């Protein structure tokens, strides 16, 4: 899947993405709203070196205020500023562990009458150093007042324990040289420290966006069928010449130009015919031969071919409709004509063009059915007789519309396109398989065939108040308004004038 495919999938499934995003946000808000608010109070202390304690310890060890060689106690490692900083930094690192000890916390529990244990209280206390000399003691509690009282009590107890003589000895200074002074008492917090609703919901929004994108891509990957015109255009890289709406008028036994000339279905076919003229306005050899095919079956290629031929004939153009799907003929059934004799007999020399080609509806509209099914259709389609027939009819008619076999069954459409015919691919919404369409386009690229355009068939849309007039009252119930008869040859296929190709 390319970047363009990903972006198109995200654009196509915006509704799903919005639902997923809202669901994630709603779930996140429900979760965070049920959390018990936690309040954090902080006491700030200033750390310094107790030089008098250092001197006292040195004097005690020498007995006369000096060490063995008579030097003063100021030779202590904490006597200069750099030594103080190094010493404080090292000793402050031990405070987070010291503050959780029973020696510090049990007096706090007893003084405040807290119903908790040393371990439970220690889990709610955090000691952090700021700029080496400042130490913050933070306590988290569900009660903001209790959080402030506990933070202040812990800082006092910590200071007392550090200053206690029990931490000093003749062998080590331990923490007795570290002095902590409270410079800012903890205040009652006004706002909870957790949960942070804004921060949490921002994170949930990011999670929602990712989940929505994944949902859209998962739906796109699971959906194997063609759903939108954009999918068709992206896969084929060809212009969409027409969009055929889903309409019951196409189920009639005659083209919509005959059965429902004022309906929306007929207008969509007429627009297709007009757009086709703009694709290649200049006449070249067999450029008036239009091949209608599809990737797979049941995509509406015969419906498009029959109705396109009728729309061109309606304009007064001389049109020949040829059914070359010798494996599964369908034109004769679609037009309700006799299809026993047709293309297969003509190519095999078993019938003449006068016997095989029938007039339908108008004098300028002729149909060449497929004839009986044959066991060697590929041989007939690729024969010299077929190529000669195409040259003859291309020079005798304004338009030759060929309904051919689906590409998944055989590449007859590519054979005609290589001879100069214009190829149109029909794709049906909800029917065409994307992979099949991609495979067909890869085959076209390999053999050097390029469709001049596509038709998006069976499009499901809602007709709103702003639809054109033929979508509304003028079209009646969608079955056509005024119904025209097909004229000679419509039902029997033998009564119309036959014309040699």
Domain encompassing residue 284: 229-463
Q: Is 84 left (phi over 0), alpha (psi -120 to 50) or beta?
A: alpha
Same domain, 87 and 210: no
SS3 500: coil
How many separate domains does the chain show? Answer: 3
Is residue 469 in a domain? no
Confidence grade of residue 280 (pLDDT, cut at 50, 70, 90): low
CA distance 225 to 299: 12
Is residue 70 in a domain? yes
Same domain, 47 and 127: yes
**Residue 33 to residues 68, 161, 209, 344, 474, Cα–Cα distance (Å):** 69, 41, 21, 76, 58
**Nearest residue to 113 via CA among 69, 72, 149, 79:** 149
Confidence grade of residue 173 (pLDDT, cut at 50, 70, 90): very low
Q: How far is CA 131 from the centre of its chain?
A: 49
Kindly report the CATH number assigned to the domain that includes residue 441.
3.40.50.300
**What pTM did the predictor assign?**
0.64
Same domain, 248 and 383: yes
CA distance 347 to 224: 39
* pLDDT, average across residues 57-77: 46
From 37-51, 396-410, 430-444, the region with the lowest mean pLDDT: 37-51
Q: At what angle do helices 14-33 and 3-12 cross, to 10 degrees?
A: 70
- Identify the pLDDT of residue 157: 92
Same domain, 378 and 455: yes
* pLDDT, average across residues 217-246: 90
Kindly report the CATH number assigned to the domain that includes residue 65.
3.30.70.1130
Is the distance from CB of 427 to CB of 294 less than 8 angstroms?
yes
CA distance 128 to 229: 61
- Identify the pLDDT of residue 1: 65
Written as six digits, the tokens of 307 are: 């109705």
Same domain, 270 and 136: no
CA dihedral 382, 383, 388, 389 (to 10 degrees): -80
Q: What angle do CA 57, 63, 65 make, to 5 degrees?
A: 70
Same domain, 215 and 265: no
Q: At what angle do helices 3-12 and 229-236 cross, to 10 degrees?
A: 170
* pLDDT, average across residues 46-74: 54
Same domain, 240 and 381: yes
- pLDDT exceeds 80 at position 487: no
* pLDDT, average across residues 50-57: 56
Same domain, 411 and 360: yes
DSSP-assigned states of every residue in 249-300 = GGGSSS-HHHH-TTSHHHHHHHHHHHHHHHH--S--TTTTEEEEEESSSSSS
DSSP-derived letter for residue 318 is -
Same domain, 151 and 212: no
CA distance 149 to 213: 48
- Identify the pLDDT of residue 357: 96
User: Which backbone phi and psi does 239 adopt, to 5 degrees?
Assistant: -70, 145
Across all residues in the chain, what is the average pLDDT? 83
Express each pLDDT in 293-345 by its tens digit: 999 999 999 999 999 999 999 999 999 999 999 999 999 999 999 999 999 99
Is residue 324 in a domain? yes
Written as six digits, the tokens of 239 are: 């212009």
Same domain, 300 and 431: yes
Same domain, 157 and 179: yes
Confidence grade of residue 498 (pLDDT, cut at 50, 70, 90): very low
- Identify the pLDDT of residue 467: 46
CA distance 391 to 493: 25
Is residue 305 in a domain? yes
Is residue 317 in a domain? yes
Is residue 498 in a domain? no
Same domain, 340 and 418: yes
Is residue 269 in a domain? yes
Is the distance from CB of 78 to CB of 84 less than 8 angstroms?
yes
Express each pLDDT in 281-303 by its tens digit: 566 788 899 999 999 999 999 99
- Max mean pLDDT among 18-32, 36-50, 473-487 falls in 18-32
Confidence grade of residue 11 (pLDDT, cut at 50, 70, 90): confident
Is residue 217 in a domain? yes
């Amino acid at each position: 899947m390319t970047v363009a495919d990903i972006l198109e999938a995200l654009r196509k499934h915006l509704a799903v993405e919005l639902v997923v995003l809202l669901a994630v946000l709603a779930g996140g808000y429900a979760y965070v709203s049920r959390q018990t608010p936690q309040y954090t109070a902080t006491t700030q202390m200033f750390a310094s070196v107790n030089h008098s304690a250092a001197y006292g310890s040195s004097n005690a060890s020498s007995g006369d205020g000096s060490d063995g060689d008579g030097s003063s106690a100021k030779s202590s490692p904490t006597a200069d500023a750099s030594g103080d900083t190094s010493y404080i930094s090292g000793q402050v690192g031990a405070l987070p562990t010291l503050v959780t000890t029973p020696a510090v916390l049990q007096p706090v529990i007893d003084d405040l009458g807290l119903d908790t244990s040393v371990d439970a209280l220690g889990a709610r206390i955090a000691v952090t150093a700021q700029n080496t000399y400042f130490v913050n003691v933070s306590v988290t509690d569900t009660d903001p007042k209790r959080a402030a009282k506990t933070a202040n009590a812990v800082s006092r107890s910590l200071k007392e324990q550090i200053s206690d003589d029990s931490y000093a000895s003749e062998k080590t200074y331990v923490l007795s040289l570290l002095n902590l002074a409270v410079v800012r008492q903890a205040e009652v917090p006004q706002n909870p420290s957790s949960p942070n609703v804004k921060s949490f919901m921002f994170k949930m929004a990011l999670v929602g966006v990712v989940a929505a994108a994944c949902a859209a891509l998962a739906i796109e990957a699971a959906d194997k069928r063609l759903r939108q015109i954009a999918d068709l255009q992206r896969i084929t890289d060809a212009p969409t010449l027409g969009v055929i709406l889903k309409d019951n008028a196409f189920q009639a036994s005659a083209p919509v130009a005959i059965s429902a000339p004022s309906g929306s279905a007929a207008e969509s076919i007429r627009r297709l015919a007009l757009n086709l003229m703009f694709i290649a306005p200049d006449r070249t050899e067999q450029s008036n031969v239009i091949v209608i095919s599809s990737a797979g079956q049941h995509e509406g290629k015969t419906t498009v071919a029959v109705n396109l031929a009728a729309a061109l004939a309606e304009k007064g153009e001389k049109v020949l409709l040829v059914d070359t799907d010798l494996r599964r003929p369908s034109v004769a059934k679609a037009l309700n004509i006799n299809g026993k004799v047709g293309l297969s007999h003509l190519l095999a020399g078993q019938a003449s063009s006068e016997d095989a080609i029938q007039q339908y509806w108008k004098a300028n509209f002729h149909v060449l059915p497929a004839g009986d099914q044959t066991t060697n259709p590929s041989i007939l389609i690729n024969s010299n007789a077929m190529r000669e027939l195409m040259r003859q009819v291309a020079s005798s008619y304004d338009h030759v519309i060929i309904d051919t076999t689906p590409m998944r069954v055989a590449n007859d459409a590519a054979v005609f396109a290589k001879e100069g015919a214009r190829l149109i691919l029909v794709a049906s919404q909800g029917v065409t398989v994307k992979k099949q369409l991609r495979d067909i386009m890869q085959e076209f690229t390999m053999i050097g065939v390029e469709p001049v355009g596509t038709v998006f068939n069976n499009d499901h849309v809602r007709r709103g108040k702003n639809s054109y007039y033929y979508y509304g009252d003028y079209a009646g119930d969608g079955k056509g308004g005024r119904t025209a008869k097909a004229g000679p040859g419509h039902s029997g296929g033998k009564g119309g004038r036959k014309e040699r190709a």
